[in-house]
Amino acid sequence: MTARRFVRQTVLPELGEGGQQKLGESSVLIVGCGALGSHTAEILARAGVGRLVLVDRDVVEESNLHRVSLFTPEDVGRPKAEAAADHLRRVTPDGRIASHIAHLGVDLAEELVPQVRIVLDGLDNLDTRYLVNDVCVKHGVPWIYTAVLATYGMTMPVLPGNGPCLRCLFPVPPTPGAVPTCAEAGILGPVPAALAALQAASAIRILVGTPELGAGKLVHLDLWTGRAEATTVDRAPSCPCCGARRFEFLAHPPRTTALCGDSVQIVPRRGGAVDVQDLAARLGPLGQARVAHGVLVAEIEGALLTVFPDGRAIVKGVSDPNRAQALYDQYVAR
Ligand SMILES: [Zn+2]
């Protein structure tokens, strides 16, 4: 990449040539490649971050296109991590981009987090955020919590050893159904773009070596009313994660995760690989079943099952994890 490409940001005293070099030497993990994650990834790829690692478990849907600038209608049905990586390679031909079509479970988080300088939030569920919080605090890797819903969003850097963690802010996850999802409450297209910009700016500031400015700062932004608030969150002395270093979400990961909308993810027991072509042939007589982009999509008993070669499945049209697990056990992992 030529220095000319970055001249408008190296002229900033906050970055300079030294900051640009640090960005080029940095690895960043982005968990989730929906609107929030892919906007964040694009900003950081254009800013000259040396290596981006993308993780996403789902495929692009038509209902994503109103808010995701990286995807086109041709990407519908493709795994998001793969589609995002392909587009980003065109943005930065000599940037290093790795993609994982996978759920960020304990094993993958333990493998990837220690390899990067920072972890960024593109997630649509709290279970995985609490796992990210545990793994990042355990390994001393900064991460940025960012969430969006309806017309607003919020973001807060977590800097292990300096300020609060996610569990200082929200000690326990809300009970299922207590917080509306994007499918229920909707999402205004510019909201993830705005929060991705805030998150990416915090990431650049941390990567070039001035993290202390953001420690404990929670920014809440409503794009409809234009209201922005910044509050300082204190570290909770009784926090089980950053206080007692008890990593409960690492120790007891759930097998099912309720996702945004009426959908549930099922993670197989170890060694759950599935031959999606065989499965399509088996499920074909029961309803619509087809394989596209290496992923099986089948309509069964009013639910839409998306099954990945690693044995993971996302069951849509079902909000009860037990019913989703039952469908999975009956049709996928017999
Ligand atoms: Zn904490």
Interval 283-305: pLDDT, tens: 888 878 889 888 899 888 888 88
pLDDT(239) > 90: yes
Centre of ligand 1 to C-alpha 256, Å, is 25
Residue 327 belongs to what domain range? 256-331
- Tell whether 212 and 124 lie within a shared domain: yes
- Tell whether 274 and 215 lie within a shared domain: no
The confidence band for 252, taking pLDDT boundaries of 50, 70 and 90, is confident
Centre of ligand 1 to C-alpha 37, Å, is 24
Centre of ligand 1 to C-alpha 245, Å, is 9
- Choose the final residue of a domain: 222, 251, 280: 251
Which CATH number do you get for residue 304? 3.30.310
- Tell whether 240 and 263 lie within a shared domain: no
HSE, CB side, 13 Å, CA atoms: give it for residue 188.
13
83-87, 135-139, 321-325 — which is least confidently predicted? 321-325
| Marked catalytic residue, from 182, 239, 241, 260 | 182
Centre of ligand 1 to C-alpha 72, Å, is 39
- Tell whether 166 and 243 lie within a shared domain: yes
pLDDT of residue 334: 59
Distance of CA 148 to the CA centre of its chain: 12
pLDDT of residue 312: 87
Centre of ligand 1 to C-alpha 295, Å, is 38
pLDDT(268) > 90: no
- Tell whether 239 and 269 lie within a shared domain: no
- Tell whether 35 and 129 lie within a shared domain: yes
Mean pLDDT to the nearest integer, 29-33: 97
CA separation (Å) from 25 to 8, 90, 131, 173, 330?
19, 20, 26, 35, 48
Centre of ligand 1 to C-alpha 11, Å, is 37
- Tell whether 186 and 297 lie within a shared domain: no
- Tell whether 292 and 229 lie within a shared domain: no
Centre of ligand 1 to C-alpha 165, Å, is 4
Q: How many structural domains are present in the chain?
A: 2
Within 8 A by CB and 6+ apart from 175, the residues are: none
158-162, 167-171, 203-207, 264-268 — which is least confidently predicted? 264-268
- Tell whether 123 and 39 lie within a shared domain: yes
3-state secondary structure of 94: coil
Mean pLDDT to the nearest integer, 227-232: 96
- Tell whether 121 and 67 lie within a shared domain: yes
Centre of ligand 1 to C-alpha 239, Å, is 5
pLDDT of residue 255: 67
- Choose the final residue of a domain: 223, 251, 279: 251
Of all residues in the chain, what percent carry a pLDDT higher than 90? 60
The confidence band for 260, taking pLDDT boundaries of 50, 70 and 90, is low
pTM of the model: 0.85
Which CATH number do you get for residue 99? 3.40.50.720
- Choose the final residue of a domain: 233, 251, 269: 251
Instruction: Pick the more confident residue, 168 or 308.
Output: 168
239 is an active site residue:
no
Mean pLDDT to the nearest integer, 168-175: 86
- The enclosing H or E element of 56 equals strand 51-56
Task: Tell me how crowded residue 218 is: count the other CB atoms within 10 A of its CB.
Answer: 17
3-state secondary structure of 178: coil
Residues lining ligand 1 (ion), CB within 5 A?
Answer: 165, 167-168, 239, 241-242
- Tell whether 106 and 244 lie within a shared domain: yes
Instruction: Pick the more confident residue, 265 or 239.
Output: 239
- Tell whether 18 and 62 lie within a shared domain: yes
In DSSP terms, which residues pair with 91 in a beta bridge? none
> How is the beta sheet containing 51-56 ordered, strand by strand?
96-101, 51-56, 27-31, 118-121, 143-149, 152-158, 217-222, 228-232
pLDDT of residue 66: 87
pLDDT of residue 170: 93
pLDDT tens digits, one per residue of 32-80: 999 999 999 999 999 999 999 999 988 998 888 988 889 999 999 999 9
Structure tokens, 247: 């990593």
